Amino acid sequence: MTSTSKARFEQASKHAVLLNALLSHPACKLQANGRPDKNSTPITLYWVIDFELNTWNNYVLAYLPPDAPKHSRGLAIQPGSDFTESPALVEDSKYPRMTGAALKEKWTDSIGRGVMISNIILTPGQQMMFGGTFDFGSEVEAAARAITATS
């Protein structure tokens, strides 16, 4: 998979869909800051969300334009009904150039982390690494499948 701005947007959008599906899962109990409550959320769901939030914050955001989730509904995490798109702020020229090794590493790591979290969500036996088996439901499972689907 190439790291063009279009490919980065599409991959980031898939991560945003998964993250939104996880955060809106009925068993996920959120704290006031929007993060899952470890004591009230089933442990496997909690650790999967934690892993995907770390992927989002530490890998995906690195290859997007500054504040991209604030300017594109496709990249927004839990957008409100008053969300306003700003397409000019996520156009091709705003993306960081993928010339540096560190940025390319973020791209490849985000792909690998996407495969890993998808496998954990879709394979009950692998969920044991995150605390035990959990029924993520069809919305989360569809989002997990989409992460590893090629365009």
pLDDT in tens, 87-105: 777 777 777 766 678 778 8
36 lies in which domain range?
5-78+85-148
Four-CA torsion 120, 44, 138, 53, nearest 10 degrees: -80
Farthest CA pair distance, the chain = 44
CA dist 87 and 80 (Å) reads 17
**Phi/psi of residue 34, nearest 5 degrees:** 90, -5
Whether the model clears a pTM of 0.95, i.e. scores above it, the answer is no
Per-residue pLDDT at 91: 77
How many domains is the chain partitioned into structurally? 1
CB 65 within 8 A of CB 6: no
Which of 48, 41, 68, 43 has the alpha carbon at shortest distance from 118?
A: 48
**Phi/psi of residue 51, nearest 5 degrees:** -60, -45
- Bridge partners of 36, per DSSP, are 30
CB 63 within 8 A of CB 105: no
- The 10s digit of each residue's pLDDT in 5-53 is 888 889 999 999 999 999 999 999 999 988 899 999 999 999 999 999 9
